[in-house]
């Protein structure tokens, strides 16, 4: 039965298929439950959509655990920073069970089998799509400006040889897969698309992201407004320099989608007299001053765009270009520089939510029609780059060879010998580079997966279970963000709000059920200092106003602070 088992009859019935309905949560009066503070996150998780639509897309076979119990426990382990399901092997299952009103949670093997059962079909993708649409429709002000970036997830396993990707944070080319995330200005995630073979950001936006956004985004401007104003756009996409492409901007403009990115070729600096100071409010609420200037700019394909530049205190100019012709300059500058909120999201989730962790060790075949970079082409291109670098260094050394001594035979001859040797090396590298370029020119740049050499064949990592867990982590992050927004104003140092929430989730708590009154009191133990207790008391008031009932019970949750 396992450690912590108390409900023996129900578990025996479930084991022989005689349990018609999952066990209903039954809370007992308990004290000092480890990590009991994570129950404070349940109202936010439910509002964010943890159990919404889940019954429409997932079906569990008859058993001891209900779908809601599994989803709640998966969200809880994300919030308390258990970064992988495997780590639950070292936690007391009975203590976790107390948090959801059961005798214990499933063991790791059972939990993996449940996740595998839930992710057999397209349920995870459809559930994520439904939640994304719900989030966008409920907060249209967040969905009008969307941030898109690729996150390279390194794979260190041996089951398959994934294509190599450049990992900027490690400055290396490693075997990896790329996840393209769509976030709001404050970093809250909307959706994620996995690409085992990365065709590039522009193709992913046009072929994968944009068609999905068309189905989910609310209507910001109607057809009559678009018809009457040819420069009006429907929504804005903010990306890094990888999306810089004049033809791409033109195609997006034709679809009435504005683009905002850094200028890849900004040219000469503008006169500093053009820049004026503007008081701006950043997406975080911080007040600051930016020195900005704006001009019109014609791209190589004849498309006119807006170019905005920011002048730093050290004189550096950051150039932004965009096809939003109707917004003011300041909101556009703020929107572009808020792109770092997405980078912060990646960093935070890697560190705290185990964003790069594998959910299972399964692999799937890659579509044979998918094109990848020809390994031979990549090898030749690497050799050319290496040889070109060596040639440039030789040319620089050749240019520095000068005769400073008097023009005498014993001085001139060694000098000419050095110069001759250097010249021969330069000519050898020039011939080598020319030969390699000819070979590269005759080598196909891309091959279909089915045409790869046998030693280069690969399969992709399982995506369905990863997408399922990523969706739960998105819900957990959004719930934590909602709680952070409630607490931020009560702290003297707002940047500590997430640290406080992590402390709350990990703190002990007492459970006091009152079945006659229909309440479940969660009493959190005091934290380190009084300022935290004041903030938590306000949080309790906000949570109690939601009158949240624990799923599949009639117990209204009451949140309190105090150990007595």
**In the chain, how many domains are there?**
3
Q: What is the DSSP letter of 347?
A: H
Cβ atoms of 290 and 301 within 8 Å: the answer is: no
Average pLDDT over residues 537-542: 94
Residue 200 domain flag: yes
Task: Between 456 and 144, name the one with better pLDDT.
Answer: 144
Residue 450 domain flag: no
pLDDT surpassing 70 at residue 1: no
pLDDT surpassing 70 at residue 563: no
What pLDDT does residue 197 have?
84
What pLDDT does residue 402 have?
75
Cβ atoms of 287 and 279 within 8 Å: the answer is: yes
**Segment holding 461, helix H or strand E:** strand 460-461
Crossing angle of the two packed helices 67-79 and 108-118, in degrees rounded to 10: 110
First to last CA, the chain: 35
Condensed to tens digits (0 to 9), the pLDDT of residues 96-136 reads: 999 999 999 999 999 999 999 999 889 999 999 999 999 99
What pLDDT does residue 2 have?
63
Average pLDDT over residues 278-305: 91
What pLDDT does residue 419 have?
83
Q: Which domain holds residue 502?
A: 8-118+464-532+545-551
In this structure, of 300-304, 387-391, 412-416, 487-491, the range with the lowest mean pLDDT score is 412-416
* Residues in contact with 363: Cβ distance below 8 Å, sequence separation at least 6, in sequence order: 159, 160, 459, 460, 461, 462
Residues 104 and 189 in one domain: no
Residue 364 domain flag: no
Diameter over CA atoms, the chain? 111
Residue 1 domain flag: no
What pLDDT does residue 559 have?
97
User: Please, which pLDDT band fits residue 289 given cuts at 50, 70 and 90?
Assistant: very high
pTM of the entire predicted model: 0.90
Return the closest-CA partner of residue 309 out of 300, 301, 319, 299. 319
Strands (E), 98-223: 145-154, 164-167, 172-183, 189-195
Residue where a domain terminates, one of 286, 318, 352 = 352
Condensed to tens digits (0 to 9), the pLDDT of residues 319-354 reads: 999 999 999 999 999 999 999 999 999 999 999 999
Residue where a domain terminates, one of 352, 387, 412 = 352
What pLDDT does residue 16 have?
83
Return the closest-CA partner of residue 185 out of 219, 153, 141. 141
Return the closest-CA partner of residue 359 out of 142, 88, 546, 48. 88
Average pLDDT over residues 310-318: 93
Residues 108 and 182 in one domain: no
Question: 440 phi and psi, to 5 degrees?
Answer: -65, -35
What pLDDT does residue 432 have?
93
DSSP of 382-416: HHHHHHHHHHHHHHHHHHH----S-S-HHHHHHHH
**Segment holding 431, helix H or strand E:** helix 409-442
Cβ atoms of 185 and 338 within 8 Å: the answer is: yes
What pLDDT does residue 401 have?
78
The per-residue b/e assignment along 157-177, b for 16 or more CB within 10 angstroms, e otherwise, is eeebebbebeeeeeeeeebbb
Residue 556 domain flag: no
Residues in the chain: 564
Residues 495 and 400 in one domain: no
pLDDT surpassing 60 at residue 250: yes
Residue 494 domain flag: yes
Return the closest-CA partner of residue 335 out of 325, 320, 314. 320
Whichever domain contains 131, its CATH number is 3.90.350.10
Q: How many Å apart are CA 163 and CA 458, to the nearest integer?
A: 8
Average pLDDT over residues 274-284: 89
Alpha helix (H) residue ranges in 62-200: 67-79, 93-99, 108-118, 123-138, 140-143
Cβ atoms of 185 and 335 within 8 Å: the answer is: yes
Question: 280 phi and psi, to 5 degrees?
Answer: -130, 155
Residues 140 and 257 in one domain: yes
Residues 379 and 495 in one domain: no
Average per-residue pLDDT for the chain: 91
What pLDDT does residue 397 have?
85
What pLDDT does residue 457 have?
84
What pLDDT does residue 510 have?
95
Average pLDDT over residues 53-73: 93
What pLDDT does residue 549 have?
96
Q: What is the DSSP letter of 527?
A: -
User: Please, which pLDDT band fits residue 12 given cuts at 50, 70 and 90?
Assistant: confident
Residues 106 and 250 in one domain: no
Residues 157 and 205 in one domain: yes
Residue 110 domain flag: yes
Residues 168 and 282 in one domain: yes
Condensed to tens digits (0 to 9), the pLDDT of residues 400-440 reads: 877 666 666 767 777 788 888 888 899 999 999 999 999 99
Average pLDDT over residues 443-466: 86
pLDDT surpassing 90 at residue 564: no
What pLDDT does residue 269 have?
95
In this structure, of 235-239, 361-365, 390-394, 483-487, the range with the lowest mean pLDDT score is 361-365
Q: pLDDT over 70 for what percent of the chain?
A: 98
DSSP of 307-322: EEEEE-TTS-EEEEEE
What pLDDT does residue 5 have?
75
pLDDT surpassing 70 at residue 140: yes
* Pair of tokens at residue 271: 């006169």
Residue 211 domain flag: yes
Average pLDDT over residues 256-275: 94
Return the closest-CA partner of residue 35 out of 90, 83, 96. 96
Condensed to tens digits (0 to 9), the pLDDT of residues 152-195 reads: 998 888 888 888 878 888 888 888 899 999 999 999 999 999 88
Rg (CA), the chain: 29
In this structure, of 129-143, 234-248, 438-452, the range with the lowest mean pLDDT score is 438-452
Q: pLDDT over 90 for what percent of the chain?
A: 67
Residue where a domain terminates, one of 352, 383, 406 = 352
Residues 106 and 160 in one domain: no
Residues 305 and 236 in one domain: yes
Residues 275 and 249 in one domain: yes
What pLDDT does residue 556 have?
96
What pLDDT does residue 403 have?
67
Residues 175 and 280 in one domain: yes
């Amino acid at each position: 039965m396992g450690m912590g088992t108390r409900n023996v009859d129900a578990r025996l019935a479930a084991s022989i298929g005689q349990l018609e309905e999952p066990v209903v949560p039954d809370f007992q009066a308990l004290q000092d439950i480890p990590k009991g503070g994570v129950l404070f996150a349940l109202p936010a998780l439910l509002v964010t959509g943890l159990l919404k639509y889940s019954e429409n897309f997932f079906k569990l076979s008859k058993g001891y655990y209900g779908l809601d119990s599994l989803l709640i426990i998966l969200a809880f382990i994300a919030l308390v920073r258990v970064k992988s399901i495997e780590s639950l092997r070292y936690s007391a299952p009975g203590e976790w069970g107390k948090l959801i009103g059961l005798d214990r949670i499933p063991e790791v093997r059972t939990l993996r089998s449940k996740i595998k059962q839930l992710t057999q079909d397209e349920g995870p993708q459809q559930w994520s799509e439904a939640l994304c649409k719900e989030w966008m429709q409920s907060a249209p002000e967040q969905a009008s400006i969307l941030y898109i970036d690729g996150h390279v997830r390194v794979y260190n396993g041996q089951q398959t040889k994934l294509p190599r990707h450049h990992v900027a944070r490690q400055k290396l080319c490693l075997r990896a897969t790329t996840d393209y995330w769509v976030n709001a200005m404050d970093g809250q995630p909307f959706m994620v698309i996995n690409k085992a073979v990365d065709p590039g950001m522009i193709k992913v936006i046009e072929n994968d992201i944009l068609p999905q956004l068309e189905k989910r985004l609310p209507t910001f401007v109607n057809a009559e407004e678009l018809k009457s104003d040819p420069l009006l756009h429907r929504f804005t996409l903010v990306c890094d320099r990888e999306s810089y492409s004049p033809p791409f901007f033109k195609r997006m403009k034709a679809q009435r989608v504005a683009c905002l990115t850094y200028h890849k070729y900004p040219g000469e600096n503008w006169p500093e007299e053009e820049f004026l100071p503007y008081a701006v409010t950043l997406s975080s609420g911080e007040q600051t001053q930016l020195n900005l200037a704006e001009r019109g700019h014609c791209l190589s394909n004849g498309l006119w765009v807006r170019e905005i530049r920011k002048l730093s205190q050290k004189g550096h100019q950051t150039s932004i270009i965009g096809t939003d012709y109707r917004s003011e300059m300041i909101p556009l500058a703020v929107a572009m520089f808020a792109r770092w909120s997405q980078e912060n999201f990646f960093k935070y989730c890697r560190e705290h939510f185990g964003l790069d962790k594998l959910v299972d060790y399964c692999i799937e075949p890659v579509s044979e029609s998918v094109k990848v970079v020809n390994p031979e082409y990549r090898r030749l291109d690497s050799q050319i780059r290496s040889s070109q670098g060596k040639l440039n260094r030789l040319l620089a050394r050749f240019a520095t060879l000068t005769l400073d001594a008097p023009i005498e035979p014993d001085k001139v001859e060694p000098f000419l010998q050095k110069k001759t040797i250097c010249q021969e090396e330069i000519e050898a590298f020039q011939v080598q580079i020319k030969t390699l370029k000819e070979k590269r020119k005759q080598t196909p740049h891309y091959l279909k997966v089915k045409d790869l050499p046998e030693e280069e064949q690969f399969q992709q990592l399982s995506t369905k279970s990863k997408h399922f867990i990523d969706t739960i982590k998105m819900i957990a992050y959004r719930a934590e963000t909602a709680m952070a927004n409630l607490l931020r104003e009560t702290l003297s140092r707002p940047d500590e709000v997430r640290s406080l929430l992590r402390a709350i989730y990990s703190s002990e708590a007492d459970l006091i059920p009152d079945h006659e009154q229909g309440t479940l009191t969660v009493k959190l133990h005091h934290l380190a200092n009084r300022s935290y207790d004041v903030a938590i008391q306000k949080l309790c008031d906000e949570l109690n106003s939601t009158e949240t009932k624990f799923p599949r019970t009639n117990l209204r949750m009451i949140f309190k602070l105090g150990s007595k």
